Structure 1
C-alpha cells in the first residue's frame, strides 16, 4: 500500500460526475476513474464523495479534494451553474466539510488550463488561451503565469463573445456558443440533412459542399471572435480542447483565415494546438488544484 498522500479529483459536468484518486505529487497518475450520473442534489453529491472516500482501497492519507464545476465559481462557492442549478449558491467546502480535508473548487475550463499549464501543452508558457468546445464553450486564460479569474470568478467566458451587433442575446447561452458549440453543429447538421454535428463533420471531410459551407460558418465565427481575444491578450498559444476540437482539420482553415483577416501582422502567426490531456484535462486539473490548495490559480 502506498504511503504517499493522495488527493481526490472530481470533474462535475451537466450530466455526469467523474472521480479518481491520485498521489499528491503525481496528479496526472489518476487511478481507476469512475463515472456516475450527475447528483440531483447537493446532499447527493456529498454522500457520493463520502462513499468514494470510505470505499477507497488505498490506506494512504487523503490531503485534499479538487472539484471542477461547469459554471461560475467564486472561491469555493458555486454562484451560477446553468446545467446544475441545484448547486447555485452552494459553498462546496462547507458541503464536503465532513471529508475533513481542504477543498479546491473552480470552473472546469480553468481547471483544464491548470492541468495544461503545469503538466501539458502550456507547460513552460506564461500566457495562453484555452477553448474547451463541447456542448457549450468553456474558456480560460493564463496571463503572467496566473489563471485569470476576474472579480467574481467569471473572467474569460468566451462562449459569450459576439460578432453580431444585431443579436438579441439569451440568458443561458452566449452568441458564440449558439454559433460554434456542439449544439450549434447538431442544428447545422439537421438543417443540412445530416443526423447530427458529427455526421456533418464527416460529410465535410468527404468533400460535401453543403457540409463544408456550414463548417465554414462555424470556423469563421470562432476565428473572428478569437481574434479579439488574441489582440487583447497577445498569448503565446491557443489550446483547443473538448469534442469539437477534434474537427480542427475541417474547422482550421476558416478559423485561421478569420484570425488572419482580423489581426495585425505581428499577431497573425499565433500558435494553435490541441491540449495534451483531452477530455481528462479537467480531472487532472482538479487533482493539481487539490494539491496546491486555495491559491491553485497561481501557476508560476
Structure 2
C-alpha cells in the first residue's frame, strides 16, 4: 500500500527556524516540530533543510516544501529580508533544488493568513485582513478568495501605513511599526520607567495612568490606520495575530474607538477576531502552501 505523501513546512524568522512534517491532506496536523537559531548564511539554511529531507530516508514520499520568509518574496525569490540580508536575491527553489520537490515560498503574514483562511479563524471567508503584531508588524489581505501579493510580492505592508503627514520616514521600518509594534511598546515601557513592553501592558491592566495613556496611544495609531484599510477593502473580518495581540484586552478599546471614529457608519461593525493558530500560523500556512504548489495563494 502506497504511503500518503508528506510536506515539509519551514517557518524562517529573524531569530529562529522552525520545521515540521505533515501529511499533505492534513497540513494543520504538524508532527515533530523542531526549532533552531536562524541560520547565518544561505548555505547554512540549505544544509539544514537538506539534512531534514535526508533524515526521512525510507519514510513516506515528500510532495513539496513550504517556507515562510520574514520579508519580501516574489515567487520563490527573496527580494528583501531586513533581518536576514544574506537571503536578498536568493531563489529558494534553486537553493533547495537538491531536495527534488517543488518549493512554495511566501511572506510570513501571507502564509499565516493562508492557514487561517483554510482551517482557522477566516475559514469560509473570501475577504479578510490579518495583522501580525510582534517585534514588527506583518500583514496580509484575502480578497475574493485570493491572498493579495501585488506586482512584486510586497502588497499589504501595513507596518508602513502612516497617520502623520510630518513624519520624515525611515528606510527600514514604517510609521505604524514605529508606533505600535513590540519595539515601540518596549520603548514606551522604558519611557514609563518600566522594563519593557510586557511590563507596560501589565501596568495598564492594573489601571496605571501613565501605562494606560501609552497603550491608548498605541491602540489609537492602530485603529486610525486600520480604518483606511477597512474603508479600502471592506473585509468581512480583521484577524489579529502575533505576540502583541495577547494584549487585546487593553489595546482593543482604543483601537476600536479610533477605528469607529474614522469609518463611515456602514463599515463600523467590522468584526475583529483573534487568529486561531497563534504562533503556529506561519508554519501551518507553509504546510498548506507546500501541498498546493506554486499557486498556493489561490485560497478558494
Q: Give the drift of 1:56.
A: 3.3
Cα pair distance change 1:214/1:58, threshold 3 Å: farther
- 1-structure distance, mates of 2:32, 2:240: 26
- 2-structure distance, mates of 1:280, 1:2: 29
- 1-structure distance, mates of 2:259, 2:136: 21
- 1-structure distance, mates of 2:81, 2:64: 23
Match of 1:130 in 2: 130
2:131 is aligned with 1:145: no
SS of equivalent residue, structure 2 residue 22: strand
1:102-121 aligned at under 5 Å gives the runs 102-121=102-121
2:163 is aligned with 1:163: yes
2:54 is aligned with 1:54: yes
Match of 1:182 in 2: 182
If the length of structure 1 is used for normalisation, what is the TM-score? 0.99
Match of 2:254 in 1: 254
Match of 1:20 in 2: 20
Q: Deviations for 1:202-222, whole angstroms, at most 9, x for unmatched residues?
A: 000011010000000000000
2:196 is aligned with 1:201: no
Extract unaligned runs of 5+ from structure 2: none
Q: Deviations for 1:113-166, whole angstroms, at most 9, x for unmatched residues?
A: 000000000000000000000000000000000000000000000000000000
- 2-structure distance, mates of 1:72, 1:59: 33
Match of 1:284 in 2: 284
CA contact (8 A) 1:2 1:58 kept: no
SS of equivalent residue, structure 1 residue 90: coil
Count of aligned pairs between the two proteins: 300
Give the CA RMSD over aligned residues: 1.0
SS of equivalent residue, structure 1 residue 225: helix
SS of equivalent residue, structure 2 residue 179: helix
- 2-structure distance, mates of 1:243, 1:275: 11
Q: Give the drift of 1:4.
A: 1.1
Point out 4+ residue stretches in structure 1 off by more than 2 angstroms: none
Q: Give the drift of 1:3.
A: 1.4
- 2-structure distance, mates of 1:18, 1:80: 20
2:294 is aligned with 1:263: no
Match of 2:29 in 1: 29
Q: Give the drift of 1:57.
A: 7.1
CA contact (8 A) 1:2 1:59 kept: no
2:18 is aligned with 1:11: no
Match of 2:100 in 1: 100
Match of 2:242 in 1: 242
Cα pair distance change 1:92/1:68, threshold 3 Å: same
Q: Give the drift of 1:55.
A: 1.7
Cα pair distance change 1:21/1:2, threshold 3 Å: farther
